[in-house]
A and B are shown apart, each in its own frame.
Chain A
């Protein structure tokens, strides 16, 4: 599984990355986490608000910091 966090590096994006990292650790799911900070790359996902969480190339969460439980539910 591949998880991407889209965001140009604001505090919310950093926080999202931490939440996702924890969720992956706690769930035991085998996943690679990737930060996408280049705005041109981000725009390819057609989103309007960051941070966004992309799981296997599908945008799952946009514009807010998710909770750890939310991410666990998404990747399990």
Chain B
């Protein structure tokens, strides 16, 4: 249906030639933008509903009071996926988790999966690469967060928290008992959830448009297979190089994914592109500065280092599979 609409709009209303570069580029732009916005709204809505039934402070208490034998990592990772990520929430969440008695490794799992697998990332991957790739991204991001968190959890990193964080954690006063939200009927929940989903769409709209516009132009003008002559899955250093380049970059999944989709269609190996995107989305310089409040540079270095290693490893894995 979206296909028909885009066809009609670009070729009939605008009267552009489907064979021309510009026609192709403009068509790609409208088709992808509409598709992604619909997906983004639906996925945000779904996650908002899940999130509404498992409030984060309740889960935190549950995790802290039950022995989980490693399953707590999986719950933390899942929680990170369904919690709408806001970079400014990472410090309060971190303190709240550790203070509530959660192991540092479990907390770090949450801290990785929360930005890495967000509603925005899933919608962008679905819209640009299809639902199979979106599923692969989500599942691998979920497990990557668990594995990295478990590795970090074994390293006894508590002494490397910042002095302020240590102080804040010692103060054992926990957040107030939350009002019981379980009795709220569904029809009363859905309105604020839908509004929130709408806000998410509105918030990234401009990045989606810019990303797809650049992607659209590249799509029309770069010849197919262009990159194959420079980079292939056999170039062993391509994965670590692109991941390390991606770590300091701060970009929204909304802007990066459509551009990478074009690069992949023009010959960049899929695993290399995917691990690059993971690095861009999960880690960044602003994130590090934010974490500086609760961690020493040493701990930030270890945290980023282990996460980077896991992303590089998954890049090789994807290049092997695809």
Are these two chains actual partners, yes or no? yes
Query: A residues bordering B, Cβ < 8 Å?
Result: 7-13, 15, 39-40, 42-43, 46-50, 59, 63-65, 67
The CB with the most chain A CB atoms within 10 A, among B92, B97, B164, B293, is that of B92
In whole angstroms, how far apart are the Cα atoms of A43 and B173 in the complex? 11
Query: B residues bordering A, Cβ < 8 Å?
Result: 56-57, 60, 83, 86-89, 91-93, 95-97, 164, 168, 173-176, 192, 195-196, 199, 203, 290, 293
Partner of B86, one of A39, A43, A50: A50
In whole angstroms, how far apart are the Cα atoms of A16 and B164 in the complex? 27
> Is B168 in contact with A48, judged by CB distance below 8 angstroms?
no
> Is B173 in contact with A64, judged by CB distance below 8 angstroms?
no
Tell whether A50 pairs with B196 under 8 Å between CB atoms, given A39-B293, A40-B164: no
Partner of A49, one of B56, B87, B176: B56
In whole angstroms, how far apart are the Cα atoms of A19 and B176 in the complex? 25
> Is B88 in contact with A48, judged by CB distance below 8 angstroms?
no
In whole angstroms, how far apart are the Cα atoms of A47 and B176 in the complex? 9
The 6 nearest A-B residue pairs measured at CB: A48-B96, A8-B88, A10-B88, A46-B175, A49-B89, A48-B93
> Is B88 in contact with A15, judged by CB distance below 8 angstroms?
no
> Is A42 in contact with B176, judged by CB distance below 8 angstroms?
no
In the assembled complex, the CB of A41 is this many whole angstroms from the nearest CB of chain B, namely 12
Residues of A within 8 A of B168 (CB): 43
Residues of A within 8 A of B93 (CB): 48-49
Residues of B within 8 A of A50 (CB): 86, 88-89, 92
Q: List 16 A-B contacts (CB under 8 A).
A: A10-B88, A11-B203, A12-B88, A40-B164, A43-B92, A43-B168, A46-B96, A47-B92, A47-B175, A48-B56, A48-B57, A48-B96, A48-B97, A49-B83, A49-B86, A50-B88
The CB with the most chain A CB atoms within 10 A, among B86, B88, B96, B175, is that of B88
In the assembled complex, the CB of A44 is this many whole angstroms from the nearest CB of chain B, namely 9
Q: Known contacts A10-B86, A47-B92, A50-B88; can you find 15 more A-B pairs with CB under 8 A?
A: A7-B88, A8-B290, A12-B88, A12-B199, A39-B91, A39-B293, A43-B92, A43-B168, A49-B83, A49-B89, A50-B86, A50-B92, A64-B196, A65-B199, A67-B192
In whole angstroms, how far apart are the Cα atoms of A44 and B176 in the complex? 12
In the assembled complex, the CB of A51 is this many whole angstroms from the nearest CB of chain B, namely 8
In the assembled complex, the CB of A22 is this many whole angstroms from the nearest CB of chain B, namely 15
Residue of B nearest to A59 (CB): B176
In whole angstroms, how far apart are the Cα atoms of A64 and B176 in the complex? 17
> Is A48 in contact with B199, judged by CB distance below 8 angstroms?
no
In whole angstroms, how far apart are the Cα atoms of A10 and B293 in the complex? 16
